Structure 1
Amino acid sequence: MPALSTGSDAETLFATHGAWLLGSLRQQYGADLAEDLLQDTYLKVLRQQRPAEILKPKAFLLQVARNLFLSRYRRDRRREELDAWQSPLFSQAAAQDASLLLQDIVLSLPQPLREVFLLSRFGGMTNQEISHHLGIRLKTVEWRMTKALAQCAAQLRD
């Protein structure tokens, strides 16, 4: 058989060897996955930008399909690992850890900074309301809030 060039001859390649490739893929990966791999292989060969001489078309098609299978397998495995990290139990534990860390950081603030921070972030008060509530100047509230946020950020970085 003469060597084929990919791209324009993809249809010929699959007309000649597609049934064989599908059978091989079914044996190795099962019927459902074989159909998907066949289609993905066809698209991959069709999209090749530089035509290449194919001396052994069956080996070429099988290798493209295997590479696609390995890529899919790795992607699915990474997705499963990511899903395990994002499981409800892990998310709940991570949220509890983050909450405890935040609580420790806020409690470690000096009392004047902590008071302003808590009234602002958890009390929902504006700087003006905090100023009236504590009987301090607005600029003092702003300065304390800036310092509190800077200290919290520094502790989170550590």
Structure 2
Amino acid sequence: MSDVKELKADALEGLNALYRQYARWLDGRLRAHVDPDQAADVVQETYIRAAPYSAGLIRHPRAFLLRIAMNVVRDESRRRKRRGTTETFTEAADPGEAADQVEALMMKQAVLTMPALYREVFVLSRFAGMSYPEIAAARGLSVKAVEWRMSKALQHCVEQLDG
């Protein structure tokens, strides 16, 4: 008996469509942090891991695929450490560090392109650790206004990641 499960035709078509639409984008994102051959391997492994999910139910495909790819890079880093392999997987000393750098860069780009009205609330909440009531008091806003701005900021981040 085999551990391999065959995908249904509609699931396979959904995965193929997902691959055709985002593989080049994902490969480009990864090449900034791993060499081209390794980026191609990570893209392939990403789609293998994405196969069990229904492509039609994935709300944010780029974020979904990037998260899987970062997990693949981290897993490979851990495997290499366990084996005591000293060869480098990325330009960074640690592939997990490279994955974190990709995520940080994407988040920085999203925050920098965010309208200032929303950015201030987002930064105070996510990076300064302030609660909504604290932000409201510090900025002379109602808590509802802070909540609204934060929802717009989060919506902007999602659009940038899925963009």
**Which protein has the larger Cα radius of gyration, Structure 1 or Structure 2?**
1
- The TM-score by the shorter chain falls in which range? 0.3 to 0.5
Greater relative CO, 1 or 2 (CA 8 Å, sep 6+): 2
More helix by share: 1
Normalization by structure 1: what TM-score?
0.45
